[in-house]
Amino acid sequence: MIEVVMVCHEDLAFKLLEVAERLFRRKEKCWPVAISEGVHPDTHKTLVEKAIQEAGEGGGPVLVLTDLFGGTACNVSLPYLQQDKVEVLSGINLAMLLRAFQRRRREPEMTLAELAYECAKYASEGIRICSADIRVRNLNLEEAGKKAEEAGRKARKNVSGS
């Protein structure tokens, strides 16, 4: 099974894990790491390295989820990239984390690259400008209503004209 390490600023990784476990009503095997202000960068590197090593002890691949591309959490994770062994995916959100937990459990044969791609895709699809989505949905409903009215008029005309 693909193991998950989360490396985020402050307590974000711990909070995301807490919410995911509450939603799934089960404990998830995951290694959260907090990148805290005022902590020496070498300490962060050590924490990330330890989490990745522990997660990979079973010989399986490790997906590292970070909060911000270019931020400290991502930057201290990047040196551990290793093809088919460790992948780093930035921009974590709850949708991404939930997908990672669901898919690794349901499809244990999934590769690390497949899981990373699917998590990135799922997370980005969940980012919406809601007012625009509502307008489009309402327009589609309005169009459907107009088409239904037109079909009704045609049906009535056919019935009365026969």
Q: Are residues 82 and 148 in the same domain?
A: no
Q: Are residues 133 and 120 in the same domain?
A: no
Q: Are residues 141 and 152 in the same domain?
A: yes
Q: Are residues 107 and 37 in the same domain?
A: yes
Q: Are residues 120 and 137 in the same domain?
A: no
Q: In the predicted model, what is the mean pLDDT of residues 126-137? A: 78
Q: In the predicted model, what is the mean pLDDT of residues 103-120? A: 95
Q: Are residues 64 and 141 in the same domain?
A: no
pLDDT of 148 higher than 80: no
pLDDT, tens digit (0-9, with 9 covering 90-100), for 82-105: 999 999 999 999 999 999 999 999
Please give the mean pLDDT across all residues of the chain: 91
List the domain range (segments joined by +) for residue 134.
128-162
Domain total in the chain: 2
Tell me the chain's radius of gyration from C-alpha atoms: 23
Q: What is the pLDDT of residue 133?
A: 74
DSSP-assigned letters across all residues of 92-106 = --HHHHHHHHHHHHH
Q: Are residues 113 and 134 in the same domain?
A: no
pLDDT of 6 higher than 80: yes
Residue 108 to residue 158: CA distance in whole angstroms: 58
Q: What is the pLDDT of residue 162?
A: 58
Residue 59 to residue 111: CA distance in whole angstroms: 13
Beta bridge partners of 35: 9
Q: Are residues 85 and 51 in the same domain?
A: yes
Q: Are residues 146 and 83 in the same domain?
A: no
What percent of the chain has a predicted confidence (pLDDT) above 90? 75
Q: Are residues 10 and 50 in the same domain?
A: yes
Residue 14 belongs to a domain with what CATH number?
3.40.50.510
Interaxial angle between packed helices 94-106 and 12-24, expressed in degrees from 0 to 180 and rounded to the nearest 10: 50
Q: Are residues 82 and 107 in the same domain?
A: yes
Q: Are 117 and 2 in contact (CB under 8 A)?
A: no
Q: Are residues 42 and 116 in the same domain?
A: yes
Residue type, 139: L
Q: What is the pLDDT of residue 139?
A: 65
Angstrom distances, CA of residue 17 to CA of 34, 43, 54, 125: 12, 22, 17, 21
- Full strand arrangement of the beta sheet holding 30-35: 30-35, 3-9, 62-66, 86-90
pLDDT of 155 higher than 90: no
Report field, pTM of the whole predicted structure over 0.85: no
Q: In the predicted model, what is the mean pLDDT of residues 48-71? A: 96
